[in-house]
Chains A and B, each alone.
Chain A
């Protein structure tokens, strides 16, 4: 996949999937704006890994709950690189609160980041992509945009919202030559880097109940996903070859939903 000359912005690229995606894009020749909000050390590491493979990247910081900061961030990218071809909206919050633990405030915070933040990143790049009459927007959702995860009701609600945001944006922005697709990874091994305030994914009792590797029985290929798996799909969707793919949601979960 040749992405040389393309300029990509990846939000939440200091950790996890975002880091893998940023590095993957750079490996194919794209110049990458590595966004972070609080993971400054993580963003620096992503930058260094890109530079180590001879890639070109910059770091941009913004709180994606704040539209002004998003607009300023996108302007920084365009000021530096002259254009913006690819947006990967990926910075999201997953608190793992149980069903009745969520309240008005946690709902607001998660919607602010996961849904409003994704939408306002689109709003911020559209003026540039419209002028270019081309652009590639990818929304990092999850299999939990379509099926429940049973670990965080509001997380799934935000992903259900993103599912429709992706479709609406695709039908609305197609006339500008902009494609919009949603990615639905299943479990991805991101090491121990989840949000600081997140509760454990499973209760202690549930962890004890499970046999070692029981989880993997749900994965026909015997492994969970890697950030690099997601990066491969992002690179394809960023390439010239994927021009007619828009409004799609692509699941990449190793067929775990089918077991």
Chain B
């Protein structure tokens, strides 16, 4: 899976998923344009390591809801790290938002951060890739593009929107040699807090709803990203890949592989 010297644009590089993806692709010899809202402060370790490895990269901090600003940043990055080959849209803002009570402010904050940014990044990077007749676009999405959260309707709505963006872009940009795919990541450590809900019991005993009882990690995610970013995935286009260890196959909380207390459940 060769992505040596490919130029990879990663959004929200500060996030746990972003850091794992950058580490993994750096080990494979990629170059980077990293969007970091901390101006690189939260990824100092990764940056130092890339410097040691002699990798080319730049750290930017642009408003991802402004297409012209993104396009300008990508243009300016060309001289240093080359023309963008891979976009990894990795924006996943979760905020509690019930259908009944959420405010309009929260609605737009989450929708724009997750979905508007995805369109603007896709247009800015996609234009360059289409001109080069080659490129990869990967959206790091969530099982909540399909499964309700019961806690943040606007998160799942934003991911539903990104899913359709991915399908449309797979057609439009696919005609110019670009492959566009979505990863629907399932539960990782801490998601029970992130999606805490009074409506849905999805994350109750969530580890045991994964048949193997092992939660996924962001390293698992990074492995799939690496595949989708490489030439090995050239026939993958317009796919939504659910990666959740079988979590969503679970139904009615039966037959969980859960260690019951001594003497049976109370």
Contact = CB atoms under 8 A, between A and B. Distances in A.
A171 B197 CA distance: 11
A195 to B, nearest CB: 19
A160 B161 contact: yes
B108 to A, nearest CB: 8
B98 interface: yes
Contact of B164 (A126, A145, A171): A145
Contact of A168 (B111, B156, B164, B173): B156
Interface in A98-113: 99-100, 102-104, 107-108, 111
Interface string B150-185: 100100111111111101111111000000000000
Contacts of A100: 123, 126-127
Interface in B81-139: 98-100, 104, 107-108, 111, 115-116, 119-120, 123, 126-127
B148 interface: yes
A31 interface: no
Nearest to A176: B100
8 contacts: A99-B123, A115-B157, A120-B104, A156-B168, A164-B156, A167-B148, A168-B150, A173-B99
Interface string A87-99: 0000000000001
Interface in B188-229: 199-200
A141 to B, nearest CB: 10
B133 to A, nearest CB: 16
A168 B148 contact: yes
A153 B171 CA distance: 10
B196 to A, nearest CB: 14
Interface core residue of A144, A150, A163, A169 (most chain B CB under 10 Å): A163
Interface of B: 65-67, 98-100, 104, 107-108, 111, 115-116, 119-120, 123, 126-127, 144-150, 153, 156-165, 167-173, 199-200, 238
Given A99-B173, A107-B119, 8 more contacts: A102-B123, A126-B99, A149-B168, A153-B119, A157-B115, A161-B111, A164-B153, A172-B99
A136 interface: no
A148 B99 contact: no
B170 to A, nearest CB: 7
A116 B109 CA distance: 12
Given A148-B171, A164-B156, A157 B145 contact: no
Interface residues of A, number: 43
A60 interface: no
B116 A107 contact: yes
Interface of A is mostly: helix
A117 to B, nearest CB: 11
A165 interface: yes
B142 to A, nearest CB: 11
Interface core residue of A147, A153, A154 (most chain B CB under 10 Å): A153
Contacts of A67: 104
B100 A157 contact: no
Nearest 10 A/B pairs, CB to CB: A160-B164, A168-B153, A164-B160, A161-B157, A157-B161, A160-B160, A156-B164, A164-B156, A148-B167, A153-B168
